[in-house]
Chain A
Amino acid sequence: MIAAILSLTLLGAVLGLGLGVAARKFAVEGDPLADEIAALMPGSNCGQCGMAGCAVAAAGIADGSVPVTCCPPGGRALATALAEKLGVTLDLSSVADSGPQIAVIAEDLCIGCCRCLKVCPTDALVGAAKQIHSVIREACTGCGNCVERCPTEAATMKPVPVTLQHWVWPKPATAVA
């Protein structure tokens, strides 16, 4: 009886000690995960997530303080990729709700001031001084920087229109669990 108690106690102590040593010895320095996540991010530093650039957001996602669905330009594809990387379950509905948006410039309001050109992270705005600017739809990430800078409110955000080619069948509602 006493032998059994002793041997088990000893076993527990030795194994516990081993675990403690291993935790110290093999502790991971730095955060390679954040770098890997940063590589997945768009990298345009648009600031739509409310953080100062993609690297900061990646660090936040890595330590779990920021949800994987934080990046509107990355959309559902990025959210899925991040969730897979982190092994978390994902609620895509929150990403779907906002929907992708792009900037649109009202031609009758634009005064050709060139301010929006300077803040666009992907050079999606073209124009010259005293010329009406316009948005290259394919390049716009929908960050909204131009909207903030526009002095005449000519730049606005509009949801990307759903087209026949991009329409997706809704997922069937499940009646029974």
Chain B
Amino acid sequence: MGLIEKFLHNLKAPRWGVHPDDHKRPAADAPLRELPLPKRLYIPLQQHVGQPARPIVLVGQTVLKGQLIAEAQGNISAPVHASASGRVVSIGEVTAPHPSGLPLVAIGIEPDGLDTTAELTIPADPFALSPAELTRLVAAAGVVGLGGATFPSSVKLALGKRSEVTTLIVNGGECEPYLSCDDRVMRDFAASVIDGVRLMLHAMGAREALVGIEDNKPEAIAAMKRASATFPEIKVRPVPARYPMGSDRQLIVTLTGKEVPSDCRAADVGVIVNNVSTANAVHRAIRLGEPLIRRIVTVNGGAVWQPGNILAPIGTLASDLLAFAGLKSEPARIVMGGPMMGAVLPHAKVPIVKGTSGILAFNEDEIAAPEAGACIRCGTCTSACPMGLLPLEMAAQIRAGSLNGAEALGLADCIACGCCAYVCPSHIPLVQYFSHAKGELSEQSRSRLRNEATKRLAAERVVRLEREAIEKAEAAARRKAERAAQKAAEAAKSATESKETEAAE
């Protein structure tokens, strides 16, 4: 980019956020590859926000590709399907795709390589179906938000219908560096994405769809414009490339000028945001009857030999993906998701889930993080924060142990985008401060609730003991009275008997 173009770009770009090196190419331009079926799949029961799914298969059972293996439980949940045909070999704990390295329950499947597909139900004309019926089909297919939030899509569609949403925003921002899976979906499956958008519009009863795509993806913009040309209700809108443009509140304000109030959901201002890959998944679920059992994953990073996008079944181990793409060197850090918000993986034997947009294997140079210094109050973090927070003040409060002070400064509004830590000249791990404080605060509120519950239980126990004591006393009194009455009766009886005998004598 020339100096003048860079200057013009800076003028247009919003004042919040950062503009990191995107590192998207050459991975974004490499043609999509399909991963050969791995030896084992580990399909976690919880790949979404809400209640985990409940397994309905047994170890040893044979399953078909696309067969339901765990059903949704509760209002906010999503079912899980077998990504390949084969035999269930285990239902147990595997390492979660989470920095803590804690376990989560997954169903292990040994694929038989036949890819026998379960029977599919495909509606002849989905637009003839009622919105509720369409939403039910989306729910049955286990579709969740593929941008990373993994909120069950059917719940969102129903919410959109209920709150009479007018605008569907389709998120093709993909502002995270290194990632290009959404870019690839838009380039290769533009028609499917547009069809999925139309299905979602129908399911929500919304008027129009705005597709927001960052202007660093000209090929995707062109493909989506071509595919949506015949549908006037769908408008493709290029947006300036600026991290975190793909965050829903930022995208909404950029495309519509509406600010989502901090205590509200997007639906409350008449907008719902869905990712382009989610639209593609909805299209596949309705038109092909295929549940969400595979997705495109970007494999990228300095340690990867052939970076690119790979179509992989859900439950594939990250190590299988890395082996397929090839490694130049032993990765210094493996990250699931993007470099700005992604979770570091404790090791590569972690399954990919529905929300996995990328597996990044970084080399030493890429993750070099100088030691944290003292805050010089430069305020760079304040100008970078897309939410208008004061990261340095919040971190100072947390460092001093005042979590409530940080809360008063708006900690709850922090979206953990990482802009502040990215730009900090002192390399202070600001995001870690905020993650720590958020976790600690929710732990405290849980603990408070628990304390109240304990108090209630203890009080109830006192009441129970008193009631039992009274009951016991009453019972004892009753028995005593009965015994006394019996005794009296016996005495009376014996008295009359003795009188009778006396009289007889």
Contacts and interface: CB of A to CB of B under 8 A. Distances in A.
A76 B458 CA distance: 20
A73 interface: yes
A90 B404 CA distance: 14
B457 A139 contact: yes
B454 A73 contact: yes
A65 interface: no
A92 to B, nearest CB: 7
B449 to A, nearest CB: 9
Interface string B91-105: 000001011101010
Contact of B374 (A90, A141, A162, A176): A176
Contact of A42 (B433, B444, B451): B451
Determine the interface band of chain B, counting residues with CB < 8 A from chain A.
35 or more
A74 interface: yes
B457 A123 contact: yes
Given A92-B401, A167-B100, A122 B443 contact: no
A169 B451 contact: no
Given A42-B454, A141-B454, A164-B96, A174 B436 contact: no
Nearest to B398: A171
Given A76-B447, A168-B443, A171-B433, A122 B401 contact: no
Contact of B447 (A75, A123, A175): A75
Given A168-B443, A169-B436, A172-B436, A139 B453 contact: yes
B451 A168 contact: no
Interface residues of A, number: 35
A174 B458 contact: no
Contacts of A177: 374
Given A43-B459, A123-B457, A78 B374 contact: no
B440 interface: yes
A101 interface: no
Contacts of B102: 162-164, 167
Given A139-B454, A167-B100, A169-B99, 8 more contacts: A43-B454, A43-B459, A123-B461, A124-B457, A163-B102, A169-B436, A170-B436, A177-B374
Q: Which 10 A-B pairs have the closest CB atoms?
A: A168-B439, A77-B447, A122-B457, A169-B435, A77-B444, A44-B458, A169-B436, A176-B374, A167-B100, A42-B454
Interface of A: 42-45, 73-78, 80, 90, 92, 120-124, 138-139, 141, 162-164, 166-172, 174-177
